[in-house]
Structure 1
Amino acid sequence: MSAKENSRTPSKPRSAYKAFRAIPTRWADNDAYGHVNNVVYYAWFDTAVNAELVDRGVLDIEEGAVIGLVVETQCRYFAPLAFPQTVEAGVRVAKLGTSSVRYEVGIFAQGNDEPAAEGHFIHVYVDRETRRPVPLPDDWRVVLEELA
């Protein structure tokens, strides 16, 4: 069954995503059923989004004034993945608010055009000290608009 037949809402092809990150699977990622366990996908989402923000120079994990807190996440699965595959995580910004961002992530078997899984994270950006929402800084907004 193709990814598009597996759900009422069609999956997004590789071309829908703006940035990609290769992530090798690990032996420990496989579960008793012989495929990558569902919780690993969420770690891939987190890695893909945050690494992209670090690489683009806006996220300072240790000392930045602004940090993102996950307030919602979802994943849909279309095809199994297993160690020793390398996956490619595609990232895009689907919605950019004042202090929140909906990131969409597609997980692709290396070289495939249809996702094995796709999902989203919604981050609310807050002041590191107060944990209260803050408007996204201008440099963040520029980077996020590039991913939209």
Structure 2
Amino acid sequence: MQSASDHSNTVPEMVQTDLNKPELRLGSSGEAVEELQQLLTKRGVYTGKIDGIFEKVTQDCVKRYQRRFFLPDDGIVGYKTWLTLYTGRPVELPELRKGSSGELVMKVQRVLKSTQDYIGYVDGYFGPITEAAVQTWQVRNNLPDTGIIDEITWHALSKIRQ
């Protein structure tokens, strides 16, 4: 069996073959919801009762978890949310660099604003100010100061509580 290293988004083989989980949402119930609540507890975002009932508290914790891992924070537990719960790291995210744009860039800008590394507008454009903020943050966190958001940087950014 393959294992996930600290610097890889490689999913253990067991997770790849056994990750046939149902989509969960507000109103869902059963063993899969219990497992979800246990995983959210393990990841430090859920402190409620593990009762197998997907209520508002569970949904709010799922949304918080999704934001932390740069997923759409819709409160619905689909494939990518399950995958991050099992691996404890962001999955299937693109490399962002100068010239990139979009919602993920906005999310990164918001996170770097919260750490006081980014001083620009949250505009979704990865320009020189965003690049400098990423480099500054990388240096402070003992990462290669490339100014590029790669797999290692995504993982480190996901550890910032949002």
> Under a length normalisation based on structure 1, what TM-score does the superposition of the two structures give?
0.21
Q: Which has the higher helix share?
A: 2
Q: Which has the higher strand share?
A: 1
Find the structure with the greater CA-based Rg: 2
> Under a length normalisation based on structure 2, what TM-score does the superposition of the two structures give?
0.20
Q: Which has the higher contact order (CA 8 A, sep 6+)?
A: 1
